[in-house]
Structure 1
Amino acid sequence: MIEFFDYQHLLCATDGFSAASLIGKGSHGSVYKAILKDNTVVAVKKPLQTNDYSKLENEARVLWSLRQTPLVVNFLGTSLDSANNKLLVMEFMPNGSLHDLLLAPVTWPKRLQIITQIARAVEFLHQANPLVIHRDIKAENILFDSNWNLKLADFGLAVSPSELRSYAGQPAGTIGYLDPCYTTPSKLSTKSDVFSFGVVVLEVISGRKAMDISKSPASIVEWARPLIERRNFDGIYDGRIALPEYLAGRMRKAVELAGRCVCVEQGKRPSMGEILEAMEMETSCCCIERFKFFQNRVWSGLAVVVGMRRRRRRLKMEANLKWCSSRQGAPNC
């Protein structure tokens, strides 16, 4: 149920939208942490320019069209400021973004889980009625709630194909994640989101940013493509943390999948449905492989223990025989 929030209450809850309450800032708006009178914590989004509320209007409309899901940040309601301009009130996501998380090493099983969750969220948009193309899938727009559940955020650029006929704007998105085939509005498709998803997967696996001007090439896609073509997967894996043996095959397939997603030709990219099916299969296989890996280690350890015990018994018997041989004729021998 979408709620209308009193602007004066939000003004108090954000300490007058102070810098101390600011928790995020993007190209379309600023996000503030608000503590309501009942101690509920929410996020309030307002545009950067007071004369441009189109992105917020669009975000509210798209979120309103989507059924409630744990895959997308919850849209709680709206408010109107003193000039009758709209603000959005959203679910507060206390554990930050994927971009923040990747600043430190992340365990490999967690990375595989993250990739699968992102695929599930994007597939949800592509299966919605009407279908939604996000257009700005990136690490900063993937957030974590208090239980570390992953959710897609920032729908300011999102559109549905039915709107494209009347849409006359320029292609939009974030450099580094933007589909190179998306040069005109008519070239936009779900495969544009697939490209952006592939970039995020490469970020998750490598720990490298989508665009990093301190590196050459700066683009993660241009850096990863030749490595994938040469099947140099070790050159892509995040070197800050060792890749477990039981996960090597799974991560290799994830890299290959990312390579298909960032293919220059849109037609050769997989759909999000295909991607999700592949990732869920890899995640389940990962659990099986992990069980087998540790089961083999347990059996190997038991075999070593049994072998050592047998060897000790044999040595003891040999020692007893030698002792008896040295005391032939004694009553106890």
Structure 2
Amino acid sequence: MTVKKITWKSLMLSCYNSKDIISPSDSGEKDSKPCQFQRLSMSDVSDRSSPLSVDDLSTSLLGSNLHVFTFAELRLITHNFARCNLLGEGGFGPVYKGFIDDKLRPGLKAQPVAVKALDLYGLQGHREWLAEIIFLGQLRHPHLVKLIGYCYEEDNRVLVYEYMPRGSLENQLFRRYSAPLPWSARMKIALAAAKGLAFLHEADKPVIFRDFKSSNILLDSDYNCKLSDFGLAKDGPEGEQTHVTTRVMGTQGYAAPEYIMTGHLTTMSDVYSFGVVLLELLTGKRSVDNSRPGREQSLVEWARPLLRDPKKLDKLIDARLERQFSNKGAQKVAALAYKCLSHQPKPRPSMGDVVKILDSVQGFEDEFVGPFVYVVPNETDGDKELFTTKDCGVEKHELHRCGWRNDQIASFFGS
């Protein structure tokens, strides 16, 4: 009996020609559903009994829209992996900025790229490199980073992505000595990230991201975000399965408690991780920070009890926003974060429901919440001057607290 050779080209071309798949040039998102063919999984390549092996990648993917780069081409693109082009380094290895000119090869447009090279002595390896290709080689969505190609040459395992000029959400949210992300930008990012996760979870063959965190959310110049780093992603449960049992991997502070305890992985594990990122967007604080005192070192442990009480919202919201945010929107987001961070997976909302809630808070204008009073000492007579926004609703007891005398307060209110 002859077994017919399976190639990625034969299995994937029907998907890429489908009208259901979204290409990077498409502007809409409403119909961005996964393709309806049977998507390849990691086991199709990593299983020794499979007729498709990793050695087929160099020929089988020629019919798809992934490019197979030589290592010499990558040296040229990155100026020999110059240190000045280093964008950062993670568990997989260093990431370099590069540029592809239109003369490199036919059909490949001139564009900046991010080139991620596997560190052979790092925390991740060949399997994570392969997972990136398996998932991003088949899945297309406006909020998933685009994989342009890869290199598989001797010991070199390299991935080439579209370049995202603002880097990661982690860098934008936590970097010092820069203007804070506005409330509207934070909500835009949260919604887009939620749409990316919902797309993965609602596929015919669901995908669990497993390592959702702020450093894996990349931003373009307009703060449009895309999920990146699928090295730890897993195919979700199918049929009557309720979960996938796997080795516990991920990042401290983001992993769901039931996954840490049992190794049982579900889409609800991603929902919990999303709740942690939502909390980071609300507070401007990292998920784990050992420089904070005691219980505050764990953001979830400190903040979750406060999320239930709208009156305690002031203690949560990032002080760098200077109270310039939508109060109504913040209350909705806090309530959503509380649900996502449930200790048990069942009460957590689906990512589809998360998208609906976050969509409802878009367009809320950034506004000053409550009275905005700024008091400075007068150099001449020790009196104090008040600078206030128009119609801010300042009350007398608040001016008393600022040190105003009764005659000053009466003059201010015209009485």
- Alignment of 1:280 with 2:359, yes or no, is yes
Aligned 8 A contact 1:62 1:159 in 2: no
- Bigger Cα displacement from structure 2, 56-65 vs 20-29: 20-29
Aligned partner of 1:239 in structure 2 is 319
Q: CA deviation at 1:44?
A: 1.3
Q: Larger Rg: 1 or 2?
A: 1
- Alignment of 1:91 with 2:171, yes or no, is no
Q: If each structure's helix is expressed as a fraction of its own residues, which one has the higher value? A: 1
- Bigger Cα displacement from structure 2, 160-169 vs 273-282: 160-169
Q: CA deviation at 1:169?
A: 4.6
Question: What pairs up with 1:12-91 in 2 under 5 angstroms?
Answer: 12-38=76-102, 40-49=111-120, 52-66=125-139, 68-81=140-153, 83=154, 85-91=156-162
Residues 190-218 of structure 1, C-alpha deviations (whole Å, 9 max, x = no match): 11100110000111111101111111321
Call closer, same or farther: CA 1:78–1:213 in 2, change over 3 Å. same
Determine the C-alpha separation between the residues in 1 that align with 2:261 and 2:244. Answer: 11
Q: CA deviation at 1:73?
A: 0.5
Amino acid at match of 2:166: N
- Alignment of 1:264 with 2:343, yes or no, is yes
Aligned 8 A contact 1:3 1:76 in 2: yes
- Alignment of 1:172 with 2:249, yes or no, is yes
Identity among equivalent pairs (%): 36
When normalised by structure 1's length, the TM-score is: 0.79
Unpaired segments of 5 or more residues in structure 2? Answer: 1-64, 103-109, 368-390, 392-415
Aligned partner of 1:119 in structure 2 is 194
Secondary structure at 1:102's aligned position in 2? helix
Amino acid at match of 1:2: L
Amino acid at match of 1:273: G
Amino acid at match of 1:54: R
Q: CA deviation at 1:27?
A: 1.3
- Bigger Cα displacement from structure 2, 251-260 vs 140-149: 140-149
Call closer, same or farther: CA 1:166–1:54 in 2, change over 3 Å. farther
Call closer, same or farther: CA 1:178–1:234 in 2, change over 3 Å. same
Call closer, same or farther: CA 1:236–1:15 in 2, change over 3 Å. same
Residues 158-184 of structure 1, C-alpha deviations (whole Å, 9 max, x = no match): 011259999775111100111111036
Q: Which has the higher contact order (CA 8 A, sep 6+)?
A: 1
Determine the C-alpha separation between the residues in 1 that align with 2:328 and 2:243. Answer: 46
Amino acid at match of 1:121: G
Q: CA deviation at 1:15?
A: 2.4
Determine the C-alpha separation between the residues in 1 that align with 2:203 and 2:120. Answer: 31
Call closer, same or farther: CA 1:166–1:98 in 2, change over 3 Å. closer
Determine the C-alpha separation between the residues in 2 that align with 1:136 and 1:9. Answer: 31
Determine the C-alpha separation between the residues in 2 that align with 1:213 and 1:220. Answer: 10
Question: What pairs up with 1:83-232 in 2 under 5 angstroms?
Answer: 83=154, 85-103=156-174, 104-162=179-237, 169-183=246-260, 187-216=264-293, 217-231=296-310, 232=312
User: Number of residue pairs matched?
Assistant: 288
Amino acid at match of 2:333: A
Call closer, same or farther: CA 1:50–1:222 in 2, change over 3 Å. closer
Q: CA deviation at 1:186?
A: 5.4
Secondary structure at 2:250's aligned position in 1? coil
Call closer, same or farther: CA 1:226–1:134 in 2, change over 3 Å. same
Call closer, same or farther: CA 1:119–1:229 in 2, change over 3 Å. same
Aligned 8 A contact 2:141 2:196 in 1: no
- Alignment of 1:2 with 2:66, yes or no, is yes
Amino acid at match of 2:138: S
Q: RMSD across aligned C-alpha pairs, in angstroms?
A: 2.6
Aligned 8 A contact 2:66 2:149 in 1: yes
When normalised by structure 2's length, the TM-score is: 0.64
Secondary structure at 2:114's aligned position in 1? strand
Aligned 8 A contact 2:77 2:99 in 1: yes
Determine the C-alpha separation between the residues in 2 that align with 1:227 and 1:91. Answer: 39
Secondary structure at 2:97's aligned position in 1? strand
